[in-house]
């Protein structure tokens, strides 16, 4: 018997002989008798409390999300918060949860452990979006917060996202310090599971009202224009938290013609009408697209289960519904906001050093070209919206944040929410559509206008799933191989620049000069070719996947050339995708 097999069996024996519930013990015995591979995956390691919290498959075991791993994580987090805020009177935290299976139970355990550790807990009385949790932390002057969600992952997943007092997900040094405290909790006997319920305060309508009042301060378009366009919007929450607040936000912002998808308004952690509740995937929006065609709607919107990501579809030049990717949505929103700020006299024509925008390193460089044209600084950060929020925290009270986006359908405007916010994004997409309509354009035509002005950028994402322990090893080996034997070409174009964020080093392949990357270390590789094509490679931080991000660019001289140039870019992308798929 190997060491690894002994190790996972020993971990399982601890549960079988410890103070764990009978259902968990019965499940362990089932795996022992029927499926040792499943037992190994469940117990071969502790579920890692990463830099954002926990995320994994629900079930019995040390490598699963369950009441015990959630309780141990909360105890470690409680210990850390108290060590940072020693002597603080009435320490407070906020807790929310989405519609996933067991989310309510895990949120209750989280709140109970916090309360048992002496915290005043503000807990949402029902499912709420992640951005509302971020808002609640600042609104109730909390020291931290926890959101129980696995975002857009498949139904078997759940997670535990940790936020700090600024309403943003934890970053350095808190992330590493919290991980260290959580790792000290080696046994459930160290967890204070019971508490006085009087320390748990349910929050609901007052929070929603305050949040939506802040959202409405961001609107940039007169109500008269919204009324004139009569925009018809199909919206689906994909069985998630958006059902409680996105339609209300749109209506209060002035958009009255909201068409729902009744079967997907049902909050259900099994996500019965979709293969995956991910607005990045076209199949997830199919019911909404069908509804749009039946009702002759102008726009389709979909939010993921915790309503921090927004997917949209618009009418193309032939009147067909076309899904836009996260880069295209971010480009439309950034252009709309910059143009409206300019029209309102907030931006000068040349340089605007007080204002800034933020994007992640795998997000389209079209945003950077746009920012430069408006004299606004664009700041690049590592993948993850927490890094965008970190920049906002650094500049708070010193400079003004315009907006920030990432290719994975995340966007935000303003500073009262410190994470991506699909509620805010939905309101602003509707405004952008109404603004375009007032100019005689659809959002699709507005996108072509952007390409004419700033360059035709096109991107594609390839995600390769590698599950379990074997999958983790395969992903590690792939990254190692790409470092040892870097790509020489992207399609037909020679690679001229390599960025290795793990080594914090950029290498000019022509001159062999090396330059330091002034960002935290991260397991990301980027290859840039002579024709400005780019491929970024990174393991996902939230799913068992390795991700490849492809980007190409051409000049678009006229709107009549759009389809021709679009095909040229597609051919380049397909060649690059095939190249990486062969690895």
As a whole number of angstroms, the distance between CA 74 and CA 182 comes to: 8
Residues contacting 134, CB < 8 A, separation 6+ = 145, 163, 167, 168, 417, 418, 419, 421
Q: Which residues of 395-406 are buried (b: 16+ CB within 10 A; e: fewer)?
A: beeeeebbbbbb
Q: Where are the alpha helices (DSSP H) in 324-442?
A: 326-343, 366-373, 385-395, 422-438
Residues contacting 83, CB < 8 A, separation 6+ = 181
As a whole number of angstroms, the distance between CA 168 and CA 138 comes to: 10
Q: Sign of torsion, CA 347 348 349 355? A: negative
Element (H, E) at 200: strand 200-203
As a whole number of angstroms, the distance between CA 534 and CA 459 comes to: 9
As a whole number of angstroms, the distance between CA 436 and CA 256 comes to: 18
As a whole number of angstroms, the distance between CA 421 and CA 212 comes to: 12
| Backbone φ and ψ of 413, nearest 5° | -135, 145
186 catalytic, yes or no?
no
Greatest CA separation found in the chain? 74
Tokens of 423: 């509620």
Long-range contacts of 84-87 (CB under 8 A, 24+ apart): 84/143, 84/174, 85/143
CB distance 89 to 71 below 8 Å: no
Q: Which of 42, 78, 151, 533 is catalytic?
A: 151
Tokens of 229: 């366009």
Tokens of 575: 């060649």
The tokens 């939230």 sit on which residue? 542
As a whole number of angstroms, the distance between CA 212 and CA 447 comes to: 28
How far CA 224 is from CA of 229, 338, 536, in Å, comes to 9, 21, 44
How far CA 153 is from CA of 411, 423, 568, in Å, comes to 19, 19, 33
CB distance 84 to 65 below 8 Å: no
Terminal Cα-to-Cα distance of the chain (whole angstroms): 34
| 3-state DSSP assignment of residue 513 | coil
Q: 47, exposed or middle or buried, with CB in 10 Å at 0-12, 13-18, 19+? A: buried
CB distance 119 to 199 below 8 Å: yes
Tokens of 251: 């209506």
CB distance 313 to 289 below 8 Å: yes
For the annotated catalytic residues, the residue numbers are 151
């Amino acid at each position: 018997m190997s060491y690894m097999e002994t190790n996972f069996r020993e971990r399982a024996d601890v549960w079988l002989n410890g103070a764990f519930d009978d259902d968990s013990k019965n499940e362990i015995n089932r795996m022992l008798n029927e499926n040792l591979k499943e037992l190994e995956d469940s117990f071969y390691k502790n579920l890692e409390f990463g830099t954002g919290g926990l995320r994994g498959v629900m079930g019995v075991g040390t490598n699963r999300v369950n009441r015990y791993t959630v309780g141990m994580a909360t105890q470690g987090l409680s210990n850390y918060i108290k060590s940072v805020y020693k002597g603080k009177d009435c320490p407070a935290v906020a807790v929310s949860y989405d519609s996933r299976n067991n989310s309510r139970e895990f949120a209750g355990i989280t709140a109970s452990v916090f309360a048992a550790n002496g915290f005043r807990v503000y807990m949402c009385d029902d499912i709420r979006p992640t951005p509302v949790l971020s808002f609640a932390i600042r609104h109730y002057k909390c020291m931290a917060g926890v959101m129980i969600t696995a975002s857009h992952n498949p139904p078997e997943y759940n997670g535990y996202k940790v936020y700090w007092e600024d309403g943003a997900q934890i970053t350095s040094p808190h992330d590493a310090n919290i991980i260290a405290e959580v790792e000290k909790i080696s046994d459930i006997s160290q967890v204070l599971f019971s508490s006085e319920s009087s320390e748990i305060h349910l929050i609901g309508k007052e929070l929603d009202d305050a949040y939506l009042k802040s959202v409405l301060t961001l609107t940039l378009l007169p109500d008269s224009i919204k009324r004139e366009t009569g925009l018809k919007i199909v919206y689906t929450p994909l069985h998630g938290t958006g059902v409680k607040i996105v339609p209300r936000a749109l209506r209060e912002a002035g958009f009255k013609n909201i068409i729902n998808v009744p079967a997907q308004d049902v909050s259900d952690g099994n996500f019965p009408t979709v293969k995956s509740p991910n607005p990045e995937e076209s199949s997830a929006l199919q019911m909404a697209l069908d509804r749009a065609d039946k009702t002759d709607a102008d726009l389709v919107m979909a939010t993921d289960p915790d309503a921090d990501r927004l997917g949209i579809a618009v009418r193309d030049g032939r009147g067909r519904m076309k899904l836009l990717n996260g880069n295209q949505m971010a480009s439309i929103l950034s252009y709309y906001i910059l143009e409206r700020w300019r029209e309102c006299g907030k931006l000068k024509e040349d340089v605007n050093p007080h204002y800034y925008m933020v994007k992640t390193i795998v997000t389209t460089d079209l945003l950077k070209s746009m920012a430069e044209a408006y004299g606004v600084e664009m700041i690049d950060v590592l993948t993850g919206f927490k890094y965008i929020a970190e920049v906002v925290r650094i500049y708070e009270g010193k400079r003004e944040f315009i907006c920030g986006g990432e290719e994975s359908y995340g966007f935000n405007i303003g500073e009262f929410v410190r994470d991506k916010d699909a509620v805010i994004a939905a309101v602003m997409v509707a405004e952008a559509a109404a603004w375009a309509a007032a100019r005689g354009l659809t959002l699709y035509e507005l996108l072509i206008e952007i390409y004419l002005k700033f360059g035709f950028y096109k991107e594609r994402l390839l995600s390769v799933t590698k599950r379990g322990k074997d999958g983790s090893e395969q992903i590690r080996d792939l990254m190692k191989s790409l470092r040892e034997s870097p790509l020489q070409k992207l399609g037909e174009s020679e690679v001229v620049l390599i960025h290795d964020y793990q080594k914090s080093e950029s290498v000019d392949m022509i001159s062999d000069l090396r330059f330091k990357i002034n960002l935290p270390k991260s397991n990301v590789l980027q290859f840039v070719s002579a024709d400005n094509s780019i491929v970024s490679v990174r393991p996902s931080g939230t799913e068992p996947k390795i991700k490849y991000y492809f980007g190409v660019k051409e000049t678009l001289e006229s709107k009549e050339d759009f389809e021709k140039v679009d095909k040229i870019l597609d051919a380049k992308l397909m060649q690059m995708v095939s190249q990486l798929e062969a690895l």
